[in-house]
C-alpha cells in the first residue's frame, strides 16, 4: 500500500523534528513537507498529494492553526487533519469539532502515541479526548467553570472592564460583575487581576487578537 | 372760636403728617416699580397730594408766626383732623397692599434679588459681549478666575469659560457653559457656572482609575504574549526530556551490544537510534522572524510553481508588502488548482506613493469570467480595507492587479 503523505505544521524545531522522526520511522506514512507557519499549509494542499496534516494551533508569527484547518477543510475536505497542541485552552476542542477536524491530540498528556492516532485517523476514525486536560486554578478545577464563566474569564485576561466584557458578550455589566465575583469565590483569588493572570498563566483561556473585518 | 393746641401735641401731629406723606411717597414709587395698574398708581398719587395738602393746611392755619392763612375755627380743624385720620387709614391699608403684592407677585426687583441669590453663576450678554444681566456669583467667579470685573462676557468666555472647567483658589470647581438664546430683543449669550467640585473630583479619580486599568490591560496583554512564549519553552523542554530519555536507552543498548557481542542487525538498530538522537541534538536554534516572502516562494516551488518576480519589493512589515504576499499566495494556489500552470509572473511597480502588484500565470485561460470566492474574496476584503483597489481580469488570460497606497506598518 502506498504510504500516506503527511504535512507537519509546527513552529518549534525540536517538536517538529520529533514528528518527522516518528513519520520517517513508520512504513505507513511518509513526510510530504514540514513547515513552521499555518499560513502556508494551503499552498502545499493546493499542490496535491497531501493526505494528512499534523497541525499545531499557535504557529509562527501568530498564525492560527485552527483557522488554517478551517480553510483547508472547506477547500479540500478529503485531507485529514489532526490538531496537535499543548495548550489546554478549553474552547479549542469544541472549535476543532465544529470546523470538522478529524482528530485532536494533546502533546503533553495524550497517552496514545501519535503514530497510533495517525493510523486510526487514516482508517476513518475521529479521535478526540473526552475533555480538555483538567487543570487547577486556585482552589477550583477547570471543570467547575460554566461556559459563560469561561467566556468571561477569557475576556478578563484582555484587561477589559465589566462594561466592555458585557458589550462583547451581550450581557449586562452587573451580570459580568456577579460572574467575576463567583469565579473569585471559587478560586479564592483576592482580585480580578490575580484571577486574570492565573487563568492566562494556566492556559485555560487564551484571548486571541481580534481580527478587523 | 379759636382752639389753641399745646405746642408739643402740635409738633407730634406735624411729625405724623410728615411720616404719612413719606409713606404715601413710598407707596407711589413702589407701585410704579411694581408696574401696578395706572388707576391704582393715580389713586396713590392723589392720596400723596391729599396728605401734603393736609400738612400745609395744618401748618398754615395754626396760630404760629409766618402762617399764610388765618387761624381756623375748631370745627374746621376737627374736619381737617378727621380727614387726616381717614387718610392715615387709607395709607396704612395701601402700604400693606404694596407689601403683600411684593410677596405674592414677581417684580423686576424680586427677579433681580432672587437672581443674585442663585447658587450658580449666570450671565446674559449680547453677541458683542456687553453684559445685559449677571448675578453676584458670576461676577465673583469672573473676578476670581480672571482678576477682572465682568464687563465683557466674550472676553471672559475666551479666557476662562472656553476651557469648560475652572478651579478657583478656594478649591471650588465650576463648570462653565455657554449657549445662544433667542429672545424678544434678539439673540443673547447665556453663560452659566455650576458648582461641580465633587463631581469633578470623582471624575478625576475615575480618570486615574481608568489609566491604571489601561496599564493593567496593557500588562495583561503583554503577559499573554510571554505566556505563549513560556508554553513554547515548555514544549521544547518536554521534547528535550524525551531526547534525554531516548539517549539513556541508546546508552543502555550500546552497553548491551558491547557486553553481549551483539550481531550486525542489532548494532545497526543501535546506530540508527544514535543517529536519530544526535540529529535532534544538532537542531539549530529557532529563528522567530524570517523572510516570509522567501518562504512563500519556496513553498510555491515545492508545489511546482516558479514565481518570477520583477520590479521593486515593498519594505518588509509594510501594508503593501503584506498585501503583495497575500496576492502571490492566492495566485500560487489558484495557478496550481485552477490554471494548472507552472509559472507565476509577478510584476511590481512603484508609482509615486502607490504600489501595484500584477500577477499572471502560464496556465490555462479561464473559460469565462472568474468567479471570486475563498482566497480572492479574502484578498479583496483585505485590500479594500486598506483603501486599495483590486481588479480581476479573465481574458486574454487571468490577471490579478492590486494597487495600494504606501502606508504604515501592517
**Judgement on whether residues B20 and B49 belong to the same structural domain of the protein:** yes
CA distance A28 to A2: 8
Residue B357 confidence class, pLDDT cut points 50, 70, 90: very high
> What's the CATH code of the domain at A21?
3.40.50.2300
- Please tell me the predicted confidence (pLDDT) of residue A30: 93
Residues A169 and A150 sit within 8 Å (Cβ to Cβ)? no
Chain B touched by A106 (CB under 8 Å): no
Q: Buried b / exposed e across A75-113, counting CB within 10 Å, b at 16+?
A: bbeebbbbbbbbbbbbbbbebbeebebbbbbbbeeeeee
**Boundary-marking domain end, from B149, B173, B195:** B195
Task: Tell me, yes or no, whether A164 lies in a domain.
Answer: yes
Q: How many CB atoms lie within 10 A of CB B372?
A: 13
CA distance B6 to B14: 13
**Judgement on whether residues B128 and B59 belong to the same structural domain of the protein:** no
CA distance B207 to B407: 33
What is the total count of domains within chain A? Answer: 2
Chain-centre distance for alpha carbon A57: 5
Residues 144-183 of chain A whose Cβ lies under 8 A from any Cβ of chain B: 157-161
Residue B1 confidence class, pLDDT cut points 50, 70, 90: very low
Q: Which residue has the cell 522567501?
A: B294
Task: Tell me, yes or no, whether B285 lies in a domain.
Answer: no
Bond preceding residue B396 cis, omega within 30 of 0: yes
pTM above 0.90, yes or no: no
**Judgement on whether residues A9 and A114 belong to the same structural domain of the protein:** yes
What is the total count of domains within chain B? Answer: 4
Mean pLDDT for B20-30 is 82
**Judgement on whether residues B188 and B208 belong to the same structural domain of the protein:** no
**Judgement on whether residues B183 and B246 belong to the same structural domain of the protein:** no
Candidates A13, A61, A196; nearest CB to B286: A13
**Boundary-marking domain end, from A67, A97, A122:** A122
Under 8 Å CB-to-CB from B191, ≥6 apart: which residues? B121, B122, B123, B125, B138, B153, B156, B157, B161, B176, B177, B178
> Sign of the CA dihedral B21, B26, B32, B37?
negative
Residue A6 confidence class, pLDDT cut points 50, 70, 90: very high
**3-state secondary structure at position A64:** strand
**Judgement on whether residues B82 and B139 belong to the same structural domain of the protein:** no
Indicate which of B222, B235, B247 best probes the interface with A, i.e. most A CBs within 10 Å of its own CB: B235
Task: Tell me, yes or no, whether A130 lies in a domain.
Answer: no
C-alpha cell at A164: 466592555
**Higher pLDDT among residues B227 and B303, named by residue:** B303
Mean pLDDT for B40-49 is 82
Say if residue A181's pLDDT is above 50: yes
Q: Which residue has the cell 482580585?
A: A191
- Please tell me the predicted confidence (pLDDT) of residue B2: 46
Say if residue A32's pLDDT is above 80: yes
Residues A78 and A104 sit within 8 Å (Cβ to Cβ)? no
Closest C-alpha to B194, from B164, B230, B219: B164
Q: How many CB atoms lie within 10 A of CB B403?
A: 19
Phi then psi for residue A52, to 5 deg, are: -145, 140
Phi then psi for residue A74, to 5 deg, are: -70, -40
**Higher pLDDT among residues A153 and B275, named by residue:** A153
Would you call A160 and B217 a contact, using CB atoms and an 8 Å cutoff?
A: yes
List the domain range (segments joined by +) for residue B13: 7-105
List the domain range (segments joined by +) for residue A179: 136-202
Mean pLDDT for B31-37 is 74
- Please tell me the predicted confidence (pLDDT) of residue B286: 53
Range of lowest pLDDT (A39-43, A155-159, B307-311, B345-349)? A155-159
**Higher pLDDT among residues B286 and B139, named by residue:** B139
Say if residue B233's pLDDT is above 80: no
Task: Tell me, yes or no, whether A59 lies in a domain.
Answer: yes
**Judgement on whether residues B138 and B81 belong to the same structural domain of the protein:** no
**3-state secondary structure at position A8:** strand
Range of lowest pLDDT (A154-163, B14-23, B279-288, B373-382)? B279-288
**Higher pLDDT among residues A52 and B318, named by residue:** A52
**Judgement on whether residues A81 and A21 belong to the same structural domain of the protein:** yes
- Please tell me the predicted confidence (pLDDT) of residue B22: 85
**Judgement on whether residues A10 and A111 belong to the same structural domain of the protein:** yes
| Residue-wise pLDDT tens digits, B246-272 | 777 778 878 777 777 777 778 887 887
| Residue-wise pLDDT tens digits, B64-95 | 666 677 777 778 778 888 888 888 888 888 88
**Judgement on whether residues A17 and A112 belong to the same structural domain of the protein:** yes
- Please tell me the predicted confidence (pLDDT) of residue B53: 85
C-alpha cell at A132: 480538555
Instruction: Using a pLDDT cut of 90, give the percent of chain B over it.
Output: 11
β-pair partners for A9: A35, A55
Task: Tell me, yes or no, whether B241 lies in a domain.
Answer: yes
Task: Tell me, yes or no, whether B410 lies in a domain.
Answer: no
The ipTM assigned to this model is: 0.74
Mean pLDDT for B347-363 is 90
**Judgement on whether residues A86 and A22 belong to the same structural domain of the protein:** yes
**Boundary-marking domain end, from A122, A145, A179:** A122
Phi then psi for residue A199, to 5 deg, are: -65, -40
**Judgement on whether residues A53 and A108 belong to the same structural domain of the protein:** yes
Mean pLDDT for B39-59 is 82
Residues 12-31 of chain A whose Cβ lies under 8 A from any Cβ of chain B: 12-15, 17-18, 21
**3-state secondary structure at position B335:** helix
**Judgement on whether residues A10 and A99 belong to the same structural domain of the protein:** yes
> What's the CATH code of the domain at A166?
1.10.10.10
Candidates A18, A160, A207; nearest CB to B239: A18
Task: Tell me, yes or no, whether B77 lies in a domain.
Answer: yes
C-alpha cell at B5: 393746641
Amino acid at each position: 500500500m502506498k504510504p500516506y503523505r503527511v504535512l507537519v505544521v509546527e513552529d518549534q524545531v525540536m517538536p517538529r523534528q520529533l514528528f518527522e522522526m516518528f513519520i520517517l520511522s513508520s512504513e505507513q506514512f511518509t513526510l510530504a513537507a514540514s513547515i513552521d507557519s499555518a499560513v502556508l499549509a494551503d499552498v502545499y494542499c493546493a499542490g496535491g498529494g497531501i493526505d494528512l496534516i499534523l497541525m499545531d494551533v499557535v504557529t509562527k508569527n501568530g498564525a492560527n492553526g485552527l483557522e488554517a484547518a478551517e480553510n483547508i477543510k472547506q477547500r479540500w475536505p478529503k485531507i485529514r487533519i489532526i490538531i496537535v497542541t499543548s495548550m489546554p485552552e478549553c474552547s479549542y476542542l469544541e472549535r476543532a469539532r465544529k470546523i470538522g477536524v478529524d482528530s485532536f491530540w494533546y502533546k503533553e498528556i495524550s497517552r496514545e502515541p501519535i503514530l497510533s492516532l495517525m493510523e486510526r485517523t487514516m482508517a476513518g476514525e475521529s479521535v478526540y479526548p473526552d475533555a480538555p486536560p483538567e487543570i487547577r486554578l486556585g482552589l477550583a478545577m477547570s471543570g467547575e467553570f460554566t461556559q459563560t464563566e469561561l467566556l468571561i474569564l477569557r475576556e478578563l485576561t484582555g484587561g477589559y472592564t465589566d462594561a466592555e466584557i458585557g458589550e462583547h458578550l451581550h450581557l449586562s455589566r452587573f451580570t459580568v460583575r456577579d460572574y467575576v465575583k463567583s469565579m473569585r469565590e471559587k478560586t479564592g483569588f483576592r482580585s480580578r487581576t490575580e484571577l486574570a493572570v492565573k487563568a492566562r498563566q494556566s492556559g485555560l483561556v487564551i484571548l486571541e487578537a481580534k481580527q478587523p473585518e | 372760636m379759636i382752639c389753641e393746641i399745646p405746642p408739643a401735641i402740635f409738633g407730634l401731629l406735624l411729625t405724623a403728617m410728615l411720616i404719612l406723606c413719606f409713606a404715601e411717597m413710598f407707596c407711589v414709587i413702589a407701585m410704579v416699580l411694581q408696574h401696578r395698574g395706572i388707576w391704582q398708581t393715580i389713586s396713590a398719587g392723589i392720596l400723596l397730594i391729599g396728605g401734603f395738602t393736609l400738612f400745609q393746611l395744618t401748618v398754615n392755619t395754626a396760630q404760629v408766626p409766618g402762617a399764610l392763612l388765618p387761624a381756623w375755627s375748631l370745627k374746621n380743624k376737627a374736619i381737617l383732623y378727621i380727614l387726616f385720620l381717614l387718610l392715615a387709614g387709607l395709607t396704612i391699608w395701601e402700604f400693606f397692599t404694596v407689601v403683600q403684592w411684593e410677596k405674592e407677585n414677581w417684580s423686576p426687583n424680586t427677579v433681580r434679588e432672587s437672581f443674585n441669590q442663585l447658587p450658580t453663576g449666570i450671565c446674559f450678554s449680547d453677541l458683542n459681549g456687553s453684559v445685559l444681566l449677571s448675578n453676584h456669583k458670576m461676577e465673583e467667579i469672573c473676578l476670581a478666575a480672571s482678576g477682572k470685573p465682568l464687563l465683557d462676557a466674550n472676553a471672559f468666555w475666551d479666557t476662562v469659560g472656553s476651557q469648560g472647567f475652572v478651579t478657583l483658589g478656594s478649591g471650588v470647581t465650576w463648570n462653565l457653559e455657554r449657549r445662544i438664546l433667542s429672545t424678544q430683543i434678539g439673540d443673547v449669550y447665556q453663560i452659566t457656572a455650576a458648582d461641580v467640585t465633587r463631581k469633578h473630583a470623582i471624575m478625576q479619580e475615575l480618570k486615574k482609575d481608568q489609566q491604571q486599568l489601561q496599564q493593567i490591560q496593557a500588562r495583561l496583554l503583554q503577559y499573554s504574549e510571554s505566556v505563549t512564549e513560556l508554553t513554547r519553552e515548555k514544549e521544547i523542554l518536554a521534547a528535550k526530556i524525551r531526547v534525554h530519555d531516548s539517549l539513556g536507552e541508546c546508552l543502555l543498548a550500546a552497553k548491551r551490544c558491547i557486553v553481549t557481542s551483539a550481531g550486525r542487525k542489532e548494532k545497526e538498530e543501535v546506530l540508527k537510534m544514535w543517529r536519530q538522537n544526535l540529529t535532534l541534538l544538532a537542531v539549530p536554534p529557532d529563528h522567530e522572524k524570517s523572510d516570509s516572502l522567501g518562504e512563500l516562494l519556496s513553498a510555491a516551488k515545492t508545489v511546482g510553481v516558479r514565481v518570477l518576480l520583477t520590479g521593486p519589493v515593498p519594505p518588509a512589515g509594510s501594508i503593501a508588502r503584506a498585501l503583495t504576499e497575500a496576492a502571490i499566495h492566492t495566485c500560487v494556489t489558484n495557478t496550481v488548482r485552477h490554471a494548472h500552470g507552472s509559472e507565476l509572473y509577478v510584476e511590481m511597480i512603484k508609482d509615486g506613493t502607490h504600489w501595484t502588484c500584477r500577477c499572471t500565470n502560464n496556465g490555462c485561460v479561464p473559460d469565462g469570467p472568474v468567479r471570486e470566492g475563498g482566497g480572492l474574496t479574502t484578498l479583496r476584503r483585505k485590500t479594500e480595507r486598506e483603501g486599495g483597489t483590486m481588479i480581476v481580469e479573465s481574458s486574454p488570460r487571468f490577471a490579478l492587479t492590486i494597487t495600494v497606497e504606501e502606508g504604515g506598518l501592517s
